[in-house]
Amino acid sequence: MYQNQPQTPYGRNPNPYPPQPYGAPPQYGQAQGVPADQYYGDGQFADPAMVAHAGDLSNPAVAAFARKVYLYFATSLATAMAAAFGGTLAVDHFIAQNNPGAVNGLWLGGMITFFVSYLVVVFTRKNHSPLKTALLYVFAGSAGAMLAPLLMAHVANGMGMAIVLALGVATVTFFGLTVYTFTTGKDFRGLGSYLFAGVLVLIGFILISMFVPFSSPLQMVLMGAGMLLFVGFTLFDTSRVVRDYYVANDAVSAAINLLYDFIMLFRYALYFLGSNRN
């Protein structure tokens, strides 16, 4: 394929990739001479066959990987729901004991664990690690604990049905987008830069609202924008399941991002319904 390749004791040079021009620095996190889209860190190089079949759900290997991802997603979602139910019982007990500090501690501890476990899973370079898999379920449990005070606040205000409706909206939206993405085969990874910009804008408005209270209609617009943003993230992360994550063979990172999208869809749907009730 390439002329004048150096010989090794075992024949031709086993590296099938052409060398970079002399003096060209390797890209960040990339071994020199290896295309960036075929290098996945930690000494792992993409299998060309996997790259060739990425995005093709008719391929048995791709379909098997997708099933593995959604099994992780389903079990972690069940963990989050169980933790949320247990958390609501704990919050109810703390309120009965007139101990608001414990309620705040449950929320704060859940939030810190939620973000720390997420960041460790997403940024760890090992794709096959028992710790990484365990942290997926730690993330799910902390998500449930973090949601518990919010759920109890809605129940206390007579908005228990809003929780059911928000869960229904999140479920129908998430799985509807999943089916649409997989059946059409469309690739929504190009939304990434727009979604990142949307997150920054949304965070900016949330910070402003902490100092300048928004009217109820404006709050509804903000919550609706949050829902639309995570509709985009669901399309984006679902597209990555059978492409980026499949090639990298990283089912845990795929599952934790999908779970994050589902939880945020639920939260913004609940906020939106709560704002509408007010």
Kindly state whether residue 122 falls inside one of the protein's structural domains: yes
**How many Å separate Cα 181 from the centre of its chain?**
16
Residue 139 near residue 259 (C-beta atoms within 8 A): yes
Q: What is the pLDDT averaged over residues 238-264? A: 94
Amino acid letter, 162: A
In the predicted structure, residue 253 carries a pLDDT above the cut 60: yes
Model pLDDT for residues 119-178, shown as the tens digit of each residue: 999 888 777 788 999 999 999 999 999 999 999 999 988 888 999 999 999 999 999 999
Structure tokens at 278: 């007010």
**Tally of domains within the chain:** 1
Kindly state whether residue 18 falls inside one of the protein's structural domains: no
In the predicted structure, residue 20 carries a pLDDT above the cut 80: no
Residue 269 near residue 227 (C-beta atoms within 8 A): yes
Q: Which residues contact 237 (CB under 8 A, 6 or more apart)?
A: 254, 257, 258, 261
Distance CA 106, CA 146 (A): 7
Kindly state whether residue 186 falls inside one of the protein's structural domains: yes
Kindly state whether residue 39 falls inside one of the protein's structural domains: no
Q: Compute the C-alpha angle 110/112/115, nearest 5°.
A: 105
Q: What is the pLDDT of residue 12?
A: 42
Q: Which residue range(s) make up the domain with 78?
A: 53-277
Among 42-46, 75-79, 234-238, the least confident range: 42-46
Q: What is the pTM of this model?
A: 0.80
Kindly state whether residue 3 falls inside one of the protein's structural domains: no
Distance CA 89, CA 86 (A): 5
Per-chain mean pLDDT for the chain: 82
In the predicted structure, residue 24 carries a pLDDT above the cut 70: no
Q: Kindly state the helix (H) or strand (E) to which residue 12 belongs, with its residue range.
A: strand 11-12
Kindly state whether residue 1 falls inside one of the protein's structural domains: no
Kindly state whether residue 38 falls inside one of the protein's structural domains: no
Kindly state whether residue 150 falls inside one of the protein's structural domains: yes
Q: What is the dihedral of CA 136, 138, 144, 150, to 10 degrees?
A: -110
In the predicted structure, residue 274 carries a pLDDT above the cut 80: no
Residue 7 pLDDT level (bands cut at 50, 70, 90) = very low
Model pLDDT for residues 98-112, shown as the tens digit of each residue: 998 899 999 999 999
Q: What is the pLDDT of residue 51?
A: 67
Q: What is the pLDDT of residue 45?
A: 54
